[in-house]
Amino acid sequence: MRVTVRLFARLRDIAGASELARDLAPGATIGTVWRELAGEYPGLAQYERSISSAVNADYARMDHVLRDGDEVAFLPPVSGG
C-alpha cells in the first residue's frame, strides 16, 4: 500500500521536501513511517519525543494502523498565535 507523508516547518527543511510517498507493508503504523524517515533523515531523530502526528487531517497516535491512500502528517511543536 502507498501513503502520502506531509512534513511541516523545520521537519520539512530537514527532509528537504514537504510531501513524500511511501510504500508500506500491511499493518504499518504511523510509527513505522516515522522510524523509516528518521533513518533516512537523521536530523529528524531529535524530534522523536516532541512531534505530533495526524492521519487524513485528524490527530492520531503513533500506533495508528495506516490504510492505502492515507495522508500522514508529522508536526513539530507548534507556535501559532
Partner 1 sequence: MTTPLLAIGPESLELERLAAALDASAGSNAGADGAVVTFLGLVRNHNVGRRVRYLEYEAYEPLALKSFERIGVEIQERWPDVRLALHHRIGRLEIGDASIAIAARSPHRANAYAACRYAIERVKQIAPIWKREFFDGGDMWIEGATADPDDQRARAEAERIACA
Residue numbers at the binding site for partner 1 (CB under 8 A): 6, 8-10, 13, 50-52, 54, 57-59, 73, 75-81
Residue 13 vs 40, nearer CB to partner 1 = 13
Closest approach, Cβ 25 to partner 1, in A, equals: 26
> Pick from 42, 35, 44, 39: which is nearest to 7 by CA?
44
CA distances (Å), 54 to each of 20, 41, 63, in order? 15, 20, 11
Residue nearer to partner 1 on the CB measure, 26 or 80: 80
Between 20 and 54, name the residue whose CB sits nearer to partner 1.
54
At its nearest, how many Å lie between partner 1 and the CB of residue 61? 9
Q: Give the SS3 label for residue 18.
A: coil
Q: How far is CA 7 from CA 16, 20, 26, 70, in A?
A: 9, 8, 22, 14
Q: Smallest gap, in angstroms, from Cβ of residue 23 to partner 1?
A: 23
